Amino acid sequence: MLLSLNKVSKIFGARLVFKNVSLDIDAGTVLLVAGPNGAGKSTLLKVMAGLARPTSGSVNLALDKAKLGFLGHTTFIYPDLSAVENLRFWAGLHGLPVSRDTLMEALRRMELAPFAGERAGTFSRGMSQRLSLARVFLLQPQLILLDEPGTGLDIKSMAILKREIEAAKERSASLVWVSHHLERDLALADQILYLENKQVAYFGPASGFTPPESVEAAP
């Protein structure tokens, strides 16, 4: 077990975001977090990452935070640095003495190697998102938290992301993936956490989950 939540609730001011969320995440598991807009999916991911404190309940992270990778809505890409310089900076920030070959391999896996020397500020939204994903996967974390990682990705880029997710599972890493494209992403998941009406409407195997008719694909 890498992460455990026990009756976690979050309140902002007088507004209840969600209540009584309990779950365990084991090694090599992909958990898809879904629900309507405003259900608290992004907030829950931040609580899991330790970036936000729960109002009540407990969060137990059974690994060193250096083994946790997080991708939020902000890419944290430095526009004046090249793609490879961005990766070198983030590796250094985590104390990883990586070689240029390792950095180039990370870019190659995201099909960004031809753009290694280009300023990241010239990248499209999809390329920036792939560079952000390269940053996360470069760290080889045991637990990967992704908030709408498919944002800005075309079909080819989504295939790259799925390949990296499968590779992470093969090395027994776990992923928590917030998705607004439930039917598209369902096949990648082992478990589903569906938030609705400020609480858990479903938590269990992906094979036993039926998407509500109210779920609409994000534009």
CATH classification of the domain holding 196 = 3.40.50.300
Token couple for 77: 């890409």
Helices within 63-110 (DSSP H only)? 83-93, 100-109
Task: Please report whether residue 161 resides in a domain.
Answer: yes
- The pLDDT of residue 217: 39
Q: What is the spatial distance between Cα 3 and Cα 184, in angstroms, rounded to a whole number?
A: 26
Instruction: Supply the range of the domain harboring residue 122.
Output: 74-206
d(CA 34, CA 181): 8
In a domain, 217, yes or no: no
What's this model's pTM, rounded to 2 decimal places?
A: 0.89
In a domain, 12, yes or no: no
Q: Is 18 inside any structural domain?
A: no
The answer to whether position 50 is within a domain reads: no
Q: How far apart (Å, rounded) are the C-alpha atoms in residues 141 and 88?
A: 16
Q: Spell out the per-residue pLDDT of the chain, length 219, in tens.
A: 899 999 999 999 999 999 999 999 999 999 999 999 899 999 999 999 999 999 999 999 998 888 999 998 887 899 999 999 999 999 998 888 889 999 999 999 999 999 999 999 999 988 999 999 999 999 899 999 999 888 878 888 889 989 998 999 999 999 999 988 888 888 889 999 999 999 999 999 999 898 776 444 333
Is 156:192 a contact under the CB 8 Å cutoff? Answer: no
Question: Does residue 196 belong to any structural domain of this protein?
Answer: yes
Q: Is residue 120 part of a domain?
A: yes
Q: Into how many domains does the chain fold?
A: 1
